[in-house]
Structure 1
């Protein structure tokens, strides 16, 4: 990547509809700047350009300590690996190569002992499962998801993103197969481990009272888009 290319990427990331302050991302020698720019490019569908930037952080060893504010270095690296996995799969269809990046991201999630300020840890594992299905390995993905339904790591009492995303994934596969009642039972289990406010508890109770299976499923699906509370506090 040339200096001119880097400056073009920074200009793009610092402009448009979702601008990032240039002062936060302009230093090429800071791998965190490259991390942010690369992910911003990917978010805005500049896929090959994103890969050019994100490839420069693959071998970075992040600090495993928490940041004073915002995301830790470990979280930055996890999100970079996640996006690289998606890009590799999307551009090449190379399952083995994409899984390598997913597995690195998942291992970092498990190793990092401090609070996450970005995505839920279980969401990274979920992304791997979704890709396995797209690659034609649904039964393998479902077997891995069933193992995750007993994951021991809780973000806090009663809250477990690994279990939530595992049950959610299994619910989605049952729905895709036309097994609506089973899909709803799995979604009900998923939301047992989801961080819910009073509003979330009301939505959860309301879904359980719905007799139409498709209507109930759609209610659960809507709830997946609602971040009632943070995963980790």
Structure 2
């Protein structure tokens, strides 16, 4: 896990070199939702190693599946987003397909078990993106690309 100092340095790096991050959404390293936002920001700017570390810190977080607020990103939705982007990060950095797919499977389980529609993401689109990722990383696809 990143130290508090490293966490703050990554916030500063994103702010100074890429795009603004509001203090209110990333300041608390102990808040998994803040870590998820910073992880996604780091993923977008291709800082994969710290993004992976932050994404992995969220894996064991228990999410509230009973949320009723339809105006914010639900905890389930946030975790699904993190799991899918963790898979993509791992693939880009390590090419460890099996590990990446384990996070995709976990995301799909959340989608299947969560009875409500997501507030900001479309479940079918997320499912489709995961299927595309599975195909893209398959040996068959990789062999086709080499011809």
* TM-score class, shorter: 0.7 to 0.9
**Counterpart of 2:121?**
119
Q: How much has 1:24 moved relative to structure 2?
A: 1.6
Are the structure 2 counterparts of residues 115 and 12 from structure 1 closer, same or farther at C-alpha, using a change threshold of 3 Å? farther
User: Partners of 2:95 and 2:12 in 1: how far apart?
Assistant: 30
User: Partners of 1:97 and 1:30 in 2: how far apart?
Assistant: 25
Q: How much has 1:29 moved relative to structure 2?
A: 1.1
Q: How much has 1:45 moved relative to structure 2?
A: 1.4
User: Partners of 2:87 and 2:95 in 1: how far apart?
Assistant: 10
Deviations 1:150-190 (A, max 9, x none): xxxxxxxxxxxxxxxxxxxxxxxxxxxxxxxxxxxxxxxxx
Tell me the matched-pair count: 139
* 1:41 equivalenced with 2:42 (yes/no): yes
**Counterpart of 1:31?**
32
Q: CA RMSD in A?
A: 1.9
Give the structure with higher Rg (CA). 1
Alignment of 1:203-214 (within 5 A): none
Q: How much has 1:131 moved relative to structure 2?
A: 2.5
**Counterpart of 1:52?**
53
Are the structure 2 counterparts of residues 20 and 65 from structure 1 closer, same or farther at C-alpha, using a change threshold of 3 Å? farther
User: Partners of 2:68 and 2:42 in 1: how far apart?
Assistant: 24
User: Partners of 1:8 and 1:33 in 2: how far apart?
Assistant: 15
State the secondary structure of the residue aligned to 2:24: helix
User: Partners of 1:128 and 1:74 in 2: how far apart?
Assistant: 16
Q: How much has 1:12 moved relative to structure 2?
A: 3.1
Tell me, which stretches of 5 or more residues in structure 2 are unaligned? 142-147
Deviations 1:15-37 (A, max 9, x none): 55531211221001111100111
2:87 aligned to 77, 85, 88, which one?
Answer: 85
* 1:70 equivalenced with 2:72 (yes/no): yes
Higher relative contact order (CA 8 A, sep 6+): 2
Tell me, which stretches of 5 or more residues in structure 1 are unaligned? 140-233
TM-score (norm 1): 0.55
State the secondary structure of the residue aligned to 2:20: coil
User: Partners of 1:137 and 1:54 in 2: how far apart?
Assistant: 26
* 1:20 equivalenced with 2:24 (yes/no): no
State the secondary structure of the residue aligned to 1:57: coil
User: Partners of 1:110 and 1:29 in 2: how far apart?
Assistant: 28
User: Partners of 1:46 and 1:118 in 2: how far apart?
Assistant: 25
Q: How much has 1:80 moved relative to structure 2?
A: 0.5
